[in-house]
Amino acid sequence: MQKNCIYLDNNATTKVDPEVVEAMLPYLTDYYGNPSSMHSFGGQVKKAVNQAQEQVAALLGADESEIIFTSGGTEGDNAAIRAALLAQPDKRHIITTQVEHPAVLSLCKQLEKQGYSITYLSVNHEGQLDLNELEASLTGNTALVTIMYANNETGVVFPIEQIGVRVKEHGALFHVDAVQAVGKIPMNMKTSTIDMLTMSGHKIHAPKGIGALYVRRGVRFRPMLIGGGQQRGRRAGTENVPGVVALGKAAELELLHLEEATARERKLRDRLEQTIIATIPDCQVNGHSTQRLPNTTNIGFKYIEGEAILYLLNQYGICASSGSACSSGSLEPSHVLRAMGLPYTILHGSIRFSLCRYTTDAEIDTVLAVMPGIVERLRALSPFKNDEASWLQERSMVISH
Amino acid sequence: MWDYTDKVLELFYNPKYQGVIEDKGEAGVKVAVGEVGSIACGDALRLHLKVEEDTEKILDARFQTFGCTSAIASSEALVELIKGKTLDEALRVTNKEIANYLGGLPEAKMHCSVMGQEALEAAIYNYRGIPLDVHKDDDEGALVCTCFGISDAKIRRVIVENNLTTAEEVTNYVKAGGGCGSCLATIDDIIASVQKESATPVSTSANHSNERSSVKPLTPVQKIALIQKVLDEEVRPVLIADGGDVELFDVEGDRIKVVLQGACGSCSSSTATLKIAIESRLRDRVSKDLVVEAV
Ligand code: FES
């Protein structure tokens, strides 16, 4: 395994910040008490959990009592959706989008089988929603609208507050999967329309297996995990204390760096993207040009295939992604890019580069230096050279005996 | 990352046979091209063969591949496997051999080896002037997986050749079922029907191979009787459905002489019929050393 890679896959996961490691270590060694215990040994630990709650709340502009620690994004999404449905048993309609993370989409598919009706809002070729379509889908029967803040594959950011206003007019609950957006977009739950918001630790330089769910005070919440009375009955189970402490520290650092780090990432990302587009023919950026996370670019290279690009990049120690990591074993191109209606020439050859505050100028230089050669090399191998090249479509059903 | 063998990575990083072969009109040499896949599927391969007309020997081969690491490595492996072979010898290359040459492929990537074998066949059929879509209207050629454009015939064939028993395996080998998944039930049905069809002949052949390997080899009379039985029960019905027929003429040791009739006698695909439909079936059922010739 390479250690010193050029890591441009930060939307998949991030490096744990050394300060975060330092903060959590004592809770794996010296301070191993149970935060629910009555003795002072446990009490010390309880304090650390409370502090982490404050740190996370500060990053979200929320109150610490509104933070529930979870095991990560998937649990947060599942808990929020199920809670919203349990709290309003009479309402049987959910609105989401076609480009959500599988943590939301797969659950919605399952709920559909259980009799819920689900509206999957479409996106246009820039990955944006049509608010009229949302408006037309909202009814008195809508229990929940669950929409991601920013897309993990393209970085496209949805107009969350504009959506929230419409959702509130119809009396539905509003859940936002903000796993990709937290730490990259300033959040203020005090002035927001969001009822519940999911975040995940390992996308913001905390370890994997810890996350948080914001639940607005006053929103009726039915827990998914039932057992002891931890987290005021809203999520049973002894807290993952080292993880919780780590998440708190990571949130504190994220807030500290947010402005300057995102400005830097945006500059690096723009240089990467613009130089690639300017120097390599037949490629395009997938997703809206401005309503996008500052750290993400998804570029489609025509006539070549994503995995082959990744393996060649890997030779130079460069880590990127060809779609979302969770679905990379699948045979079909990314559901997000497909929902955007991109042509097949782009779909199969799209690469996502996602940056973080550790990304350097020199790393971007390296990518820019090797990328043209990689694309040229694979195009020399490819039978497709231009857009008429759907030649094989007809012939894909070969001889049968 | 996939768990690719060193051989896969070596061939992917250093392909030697990429490119095209142009037909320069050299005397005694013919260039043929075979294409499979599509940009929609995410895999496509165009194979160029340079064939010496007299001997039907593959003098050179090149590929153009759109696809992943293992698709490119499979194309390279294919060329390395077939260079110098005659077309008949090349036709016997299976997707398994391509995968073995690579030291194995991840199960989910077996379809890359299948694509290599199909492109080879397409190129040889083109060389021989056999239209690619000759069976398109057959019931057997019905489209099963619309996501990836995979026919019933192709699924059957990959099941038989690779002893597949689950729909998941079929997806790994030909992609069918790997999209919306709505064809998975049909794939299960096809697997069941292939298993049913093969149940009797397989046990027959198992019995015979036991006889062959354990106690006594087939006597000449038994061998002829078995050949006749396989021809009558497994080969002729297929040929008759295509407007042709076959008759056993003589057996000389391992050389089986047959007469092709009807459409099979005149059709330009008769060599392929001999090799694929008859010879390989008899090799499977009777003895792997058999050679079938038309008289
Ligand atoms: S029809 Fe086969 S996967 Fe969709």
Contact of B137 with B46, CB cutoff 8 Å: no
CA distance A92 to A115: 8
Contact of B58 with B83, CB cutoff 8 Å: yes
What secondary structure letter does DSSP report for B276? I
Does B41 qualify as catalytic in the annotation? Answer: yes
CA distance A66 to A77: 16
Q: Which segments in chain A show pLDDT lower than 50?
A: 324-328, 392-401
Contact of B51 with B57, CB cutoff 8 Å: yes
Element of type H or E holding A285:
strand A283-285
User: Distance from the CA of B99 to the center of ligand 1, in angstroms?
Assistant: 25
Could you tell which of B150, B183, B189 is best to mutate to test the pocket of ligand 1, judged by most ligand atoms within 8 Å of the CB?
A: B183
* Among A residues 171-190, those touching chain B with beta carbons less than 8 Å apart: none
Chain Cα centroid distance, residue A175: 14
pLDDT of the residue at A398: 33
CA distance B187 to B192: 9
In this complex, do B140 and A304 lie within 8 Å of one another by their Cβ atoms? no
Distance from CA of B213 to the nearest CA of A (A): 31
pLDDT of the residue at B87: 95
| Ligand 1 pocket residue status of B195, Cβ below 6 Å | no
| Ligand 1 pocket residue status of B180, Cβ below 6 Å | yes
User: Distance from the CA of A102 to the center of ligand 1, in angstroms?
Assistant: 20
Does A319 qualify as catalytic in the annotation? Answer: no
C-alpha torsion angle, residues B257, B263, B268, B273 (rounded to 10): -50
In this complex, do A314 and B1 lie within 8 Å of one another by their Cβ atoms? yes
Token duo for residue A393:
């479509």
| Ligand 1 pocket residue status of B147, Cβ below 6 Å | yes
User: Distance from the CA of A216 to the center of ligand 1, in angstroms?
Assistant: 42
Q: Count Cβ atoms below 10 Å from residue B165 Cβ, excluding itself.
A: 12
Contact of A342 with A300, CB cutoff 8 Å: yes
Q: Which residue of B has its CA nearest to A377?
A: B13
- A329 contacts chain B (CB < 8 A): yes
| Ligand 1 pocket residue status of B171, Cβ below 6 Å | no
Smallest Cβ distance to A398: which of B40, B65, B154? B154
Smallest Cβ distance to A308: which of B69, B133, B141? B69
pLDDT of the residue at B197: 85
Q: Which segments in chain B show pLDDT lower than 70?
A: 132-141, 200-217, 241-242, 263-273, 275-277
C-alpha torsion angle, residues A108, A109, A110, A111 (rounded to 10): 50
Phi-psi region of A264 (alpha: psi -120 to 50; beta: other; left: phi over 0): alpha
Each residue's pLDDT tens digit, A308-365: 999 999 999 999 998 644 444 566 788 999 999 998 889 899 999 999 999 999 999 9
DSSP string, B183-199: THHHHHHHHHHHHHHHH
Distances (CA, A) of B36 to A344, A398, B269: 16, 7, 20
| Best residue in A315, A350, A379, A398 for a mutation probing chain B (most B CBs within 10 Å) | A398
Q: How much is the ipTM here? A: 0.87
Q: Count Cβ atoms below 10 Å from residue B83 Cβ, excluding itself.
A: 16
Element of type H or E holding B36:
strand B29-38
| Ligand 1 pocket residue status of B176, Cβ below 6 Å | yes
Contact of B101 with B80, CB cutoff 8 Å: yes
Strand locations in A67-190 (E): 67-70, 93-97, 117-121, 142-148, 173-177
What backbone torsions phi and psi does residue B199 show, to the nearest 5 degrees?
A: -55, -50
Q: Which residue of B has its CA nearest to A343?
A: B40
Q: Which residue has the tokens 């975060």?
A: A20
Rg (CA), chain B: 20
Contact of B21 with B48, CB cutoff 8 Å: yes
Token duo for residue B257:
């002489």
What backbone torsions phi and psi does residue B78 show, to the nearest 5 degrees?
A: -55, -50
CA distance B222 to A105: 62
C-alpha torsion angle, residues A162, A166, A171, A173 (rounded to 10): -40
User: Distance from the CA of B175 to the center of ligand 1, in angstroms?
Assistant: 9
Smallest Cβ distance to A390: which of B39, B149, B154? B39
| Ligand 1 pocket residue status of B34, Cβ below 6 Å | no
In this complex, do A401 and B157 lie within 8 Å of one another by their Cβ atoms? yes
Distance from CA of A304 to the nearest CA of B (A): 6
CA distance A152 to A143: 25
| Ligand 1 pocket residue status of B193, Cβ below 6 Å | no
pLDDT of the residue at A397: 34
Smallest Cβ distance to B108: which of A304, A329, A389? A329
What backbone torsions phi and psi does residue B285 show, to the nearest 5 degrees?
A: -90, -30
CA distance A200 to A17: 15
Amino acid identity at B210: N
In this complex, do B64 and A381 lie within 8 Å of one another by their Cβ atoms? yes
Helices marked H in B137-256: 152-162, 167-174, 184-213, 220-230, 236-241
Amino acid identity at A99: V
Contacts of A281 (CB under 8 A, 6+ apart): none
Query: Considering only CB atoms, which chain A residues are within 8 Å of B278?
Result: none
Contacts of B213 (CB under 8 A, 6+ apart): none
Average pLDDT, chain A: 93
3-state secondary structure of B69: helix
What secondary structure letter does DSSP report for A333? P
Contact of A350 with A322, CB cutoff 8 Å: yes
CA distance B118 to B115: 5
Contact of B293 with B258, CB cutoff 8 Å: yes
Smallest Cβ distance to A381: which of B42, B72, B149? B72
CA distance A337 to A304: 16
Contacts of A73 (CB under 8 A, 6+ apart): A101, A103, A177, A179, A198, A199, A200, A203, A211
In this complex, do B154 and A304 lie within 8 Å of one another by their Cβ atoms? no
Task: Tell me the sheet residues that pair with A283.
Answer: A301
Distance from CA of B178 to the nearest CA of A (A): 6
pLDDT of the residue at B266: 52
| Ligand 1 pocket residue status of B72, Cβ below 6 Å | no
Could you tell which of B143, B147, B150, B186 is best to mutate to test the pocket of ligand 1, judged by most ligand atoms within 8 Å of the CB?
A: B147
Nearest atom of ligand 1 to the alpha carbon of B180 = 4
Rg (CA), chain A: 22
pLDDT of the residue at B95: 92
CA distance B34 to B11: 21
Each residue's pLDDT tens digit, A67-119: 999 999 999 999 999 999 999 999 999 999 999 999 999 999 999 999 999 99
Q: Which residue has the tokens 């500290």?
A: A256
Contacts of A132 (CB under 8 A, 6+ apart): none
A361-381 vs A306-315: helix axis angle to the nearest 10?
Answer: 130
In this complex, do A305 and B133 lie within 8 Å of one another by their Cβ atoms? no
Nearest atom of ligand 1 to the alpha carbon of B184 = 2
| Ligand 1 pocket residue status of B177, Cβ below 6 Å | yes
- Residue among A5, A283, A319, A326 flagged as catalytic: A326
Query: What sign does the CA torsion over B276, B279, B282, B287 have?
Result: negative
What backbone torsions phi and psi does residue B248 show, to the nearest 5 degrees?
A: -75, 125
- A389 contacts chain B (CB < 8 A): yes
